[in-house]
Amino acid sequence: MELSPYLQGLRRELGVLTRFAPDDVVRVADQLAEALDAAVRLTLLDVLSSAAAEITSRLDDTVIEVRLAGGDPEFVVTAVPPPAETDAGAADAAAAGPASGDDAGTARITLRLAEGLKTRIEAQAAADGVSVNSWLAQAAARALDDSRSGRRSGSAGRSTGLGNRISGYARS
């Protein structure tokens, strides 16, 4: 989906608003429109992502995602097969661990991962003999249990003080 026509439409509307303004006001409006280009693109991406998530939440067997392809958003529609009540499904549910008191059912979440991490997760899930979904659910449960008990997964014997944190921001 090309966003440029929408941005050009906003610039045209700004031009219409300033058509009777003095030249210096028109120049400032043009400079503001140019400066806001990236912010408007990000806002449009956010709107598209929110719309895709809302539509997905209302569909039973379809997931709609917004992905960036060459800087332009692209909708990806994926059909999700309904969960089959098979022995493998029951094994995955049992492998996920006992249900805690706050589980009222299941919920769907969209998770974006780096391709390398996704490959490692798939390999480990296969090695453990469970589905990727079950493996991720188990990993999340372990992480939450570790955080409740004051432990950090993989950090036995290491300090968890401020020296281990990285903070800041990045600009692209």
The answer to whether 136 touches 110, Cβ cutoff 8 Å, is no
- Beta bridge pairs of residue 77: 64
Q: Which two tokens stand for residue 35?
A: 């400066």
pTM: 0.43
Q: How far apart are CA 89 and CA 104, in angstroms?
A: 18
Q: What is the DSSP letter of 64?
A: E
What span, in angstroms and rounded, lies between the C-alpha atoms of 133 and 96?
A: 9
Provide the pLDDT for residue 161. Answer: 47
Query: Greater confidence, 53 or 104?
Result: 53
Angle at 168 between CA 159 and CA 44, to 5 degrees: 130
Whether 137 and 99 have beta carbons less than 8 Å apart is answered as no
Range of lowest pLDDT (10-19, 24-33, 123-132, 160-169)? 160-169
Say yes or no to pLDDT of 35 above 50.
yes
Confidence check: pLDDT of 53 > 60: yes
Indicate whether 156 pLDDT > 70: no
pLDDT of residue 157: 44
In this prediction, residue 155 has a pLDDT band, given cuts at 50, 70 and 90, of very low
pLDDT in tens, 81-90: 765 544 455 4
**pLDDT number for residue 30:** 86
Crossing angle (nearest 10°) for helices 4-17 and 23-35 = 160
| Contacts of residue 62, Cβ cutoff 8 Å, sequence gap at least 6 | 56, 77, 78, 79, 80
pLDDT over 70 for what percent of the chain? Answer: 72
